[in-house]
Structure 1
Amino acid sequence: MRTEARVNPVMPRGSTADKPFELVVTPENAGWGYSGLRVLDLPIGTRATFRTGEDEMLVLPLSGGCDVTCDDERMTLTGRRSVFSRVTDFAYVPRDATVTVRAPSGGRFALPSARATRRLPFRYGPAQEVPVELRGAGQASRQVNNFCTPETFECDRLIACEVLTPGGNWSSYPPHKHDEASDGESSLEEIYYFEVAPAPSGTPGSAYQRVYGHPDRPIDVCSEVRSGDVVLIPYGWHGPSMAAPGYDLYYLNVMAGPGDRAWLIRDDPAHGWVRGLWQHQDMDPRLPMTSATEGRSTKGSRS
């Protein structure tokens, strides 16, 4: 049975706040079955305690570090100044657990989640073990931090990664989909959470996200997005994610679905030919933008 969009796929920052969370996306309010995301914005010295219920989750620092307590165990996450400063460490917390996140110096923390059947152990994900992939070429160059993909970190259903796109580039391109189980394609619900680097003056930046459907499954999104905004992808082709010139773009992808934990996509056949151009183009020299150490690197390679 096909799932059709039942809610507005664009969720502006603060529109789904539910204390202590600034953002709450659940299978229930998204109108689907598996993927979720929450964001905690904690002032200095504060903490938040919550139950995971049926969901496995990650605690992923967006800015700042924190202590994470899961039932009777505790670990410390170093975190980062911002999503544009370095690759971060993270924690995995299982379903049916009580979790406390404490931020001695304050910070923002993403909690990607998925409905889970297995209860896996509370675990630490070191920043140094996160594979950093350079994908595309030319103006389709981007960096992918594969911190929680099927090949890099064990979960029951959850798949998550971070994408960094230099200003003026397109990512999630060519447009692709993963909304039906078939040879070479997974059925996965996806959440895009965005942050946009401000101008040197501090002026907030913006970016754009495109989503479009099949003839028998309509969805039509071409939306401006700003830091803290979310776009839901229940089905359909999605991409490009467009970084405006001068404004670097970050997004967190959260995916889960009913089948095996596999991330298999199919390009829109009208645009898949674009990949053939990449062998003749160089990787954007601004990449990689981050690593497990602080600061921007200018080294790049073709992929």
Structure 2
Amino acid sequence: MTTELRNTEFHIRARDGAGAEEHGPYELDIDPGRTADGDAAPRYASLRHASLRILRLPPGGSHTFATGDSEWIVLPLNGGCTVAVGGDSDTPFELSGRKDVFSGVTDFAYVPRDAEVRISSAAGGRFALTGARCSRRLPARHGPASGVPVELRGTGNCSRQVNNFGAAGVFACDKLIAVEVLTPGGNWSSYPPHKHDECRPGEESELEEIYYFEIAPAHGSAGLGYQRVTPSGASSRTGRGTDVLAEVRSGDAVLIPDGWHGPSIAAPGHTMYYLNVMAGPGEERAWLICDHPDHGWIRDTWPDQPVDPRLPLYEAPDADLRPSLNETVEAGPRPSLYEAPDADPRRSPNEAVEASPRPPLHDAPDARPEAHPEDPEGDAR
């Protein structure tokens, strides 16, 4: 199969097959779904676990959907909204949202499987619904913007900013892992290329992934970027062999059921944003990755370079003093909803920068003893 044909399958262009006639209010609707036999629907047969919908609401608009067998996070891309879960007295959640993905961290709402959810917006806006098939039903919760760890990864032209709102070990979900990445124009992120397409306990997680892109306009141009995915040994054994070279623009998505992925390249002058949605079949919710053996050496060059001075684009706001709605999940031997990831004694690509008197991006809350161990290789995103 040619790369062009592979792109057709795995590169979902803005509004490609996602018009009002087919998906109602969704600009993008990436949900494997199930046939009567329990198999994935043909259009997204490559995905079994992860879902993404982009919902646009006009001023005063609302939308109701059933969560089915998936858990979801409602994440404002621009604008704010109210999220109500049927039969849940602790909702609705009022999400302040943000102007756009390039201007600030946002609050969000977690909604469980087997529920009916209503999203409404007085002023209108666009909202990402990030989903994962799951077995446990956790309580609906509000995630404050102040609790989102804002992190810088890489240095030099590999510098990027990561908003870890739904990372493993940060916010409690059953299967869903989701983060936002911002890459200044001209930089490479999701680099070195890495994979997480087979289960190797303690070394690699089996996670499929969706990348959703927005590109900041500049000088009257909408801008663009590039995404690469190449077959891995695991993907070759399954016969899938995902192979994508995609020119991505705002509203596009790239599906990554398997394979080495990266780099994600931002065109000079245009900041690239992407939302990562990950989920898999494993019992442990963890993001463990394997670097491509031909390119992993690039990490060794990072301590000798400064972080791109354009970063951070923004930081998390001051602490939200509203009462937490997360205590019911905290009661068991579960990771805390917001906790600082453990330090990685083996590798710190930003060590040279941290040694300077640069203040931290924000103060992370204390980690609990029962915290879920973070990915020791978590610098690639």
Cα distance in 1 between the residues matched to 2:143 and 2:248: 29
Tell me which amino acid in the other structure corresponds to 1:112: T
Evaluate the alpha carbon distance shift between residue 169 and residue 98 of structure 1 in structure 2; reply closer, same or farther with a 3 A threshold: same
**TM score, norm. by length of structure 1:** 0.93
Alignment deviations for residues 151-210 of structure 1 (CA, whole Å, 9 cap, x no partner): 110001000000000000000000000000004100000000000000143x21110000
Report how far residue 290 of structure 1 moved.
1.8
Alignment deviations for residues 199-238 of structure 1 (CA, whole Å, 9 cap, x no partner): 143x211100000003635222111000110000010000
Report how far residue 26 of structure 1 moved.
1.1
Evaluate the alpha carbon distance shift between residue 121 and residue 60 of structure 1 in structure 2; reply closer, same or farther with a 3 A threshold: same
Runs (4+) of structure 1 exceeding 3 A deviation are 300-303
State which drifts further: 146-155 or 217-226. Answer: 217-226
Q: Specify which of 123, 146, 167 is matched with residue 149 of structure 1.
A: 167
Tell me which amino acid in the other structure corresponds to 1:284: D
Q: Residue 298 of structure 2 corresponds to which residue in structure 1?
A: 274
Cα distance in 2 between the residues matched to 1:12 and 1:6: 10
Report how far residue 291 of structure 1 moved.
1.9
Cα distance in 1 between the residues matched to 2:13 and 2:353: 35
Report how far residue 16 of structure 1 moved.
3.7
SS at match of 2:242: strand
- Contact 1:136–1:142 (CA under 8 A) maintained in structure 2: yes
How many pairs were matched up? 293
Q: Greater helix percent: which structure?
A: 2
Q: Greater strand percent: which structure?
A: 1
Name which one, 1 or 2, has greater alpha-carbon Rg.
2
Cα distance in 2 between the residues matched to 1:212 and 1:108: 31
Is 1:26 matched up with 2:26?
A: no
Q: Specify which of 178, 181, 191 is matched with residue 210 of structure 2.
A: 191
Q: Residue 120 of structure 1 corresponds to which residue in structure 2?
A: 138
**Paired residues for 1:231-250 under 5 Å:** 231-250=254-273
Cα distance in 1 between the residues matched to 2:7 and 2:262: 21
Report how far residue 301 of structure 1 moved.
4.3
**Paired residues for 1:187-226 under 5 Å:** 187-201=206-220, 203-214=221-232, 216=236, 217=239, 218-226=241-249
Report how far residue 22 of structure 1 moved.
1.3
Q: What RMSD over aligned residues (CA atoms) do the two structures have, in Å?
A: 1.8
Gaps of 5+ in 2: 1-5, 33-39, 319-351, 355-378
Is 1:134 matched up with 2:152?
A: yes
Matched residues, percent identical?
57
Tell me which amino acid in the other structure corresponds to 2:75: L
State which drifts further: 237-246 or 217-226. Answer: 217-226
State which drifts further: 55-64 or 65-74. Answer: 65-74
- Contact 2:216–2:270 (CA under 8 A) maintained in structure 1: yes
Gaps of 5+ in 1: 295-299
Cα distance in 2 between the residues matched to 1:82 and 1:104: 17
Q: Residue 43 of structure 1 corresponds to which residue in structure 2?
A: 58
**TM score, norm. by length of structure 2:** 0.74
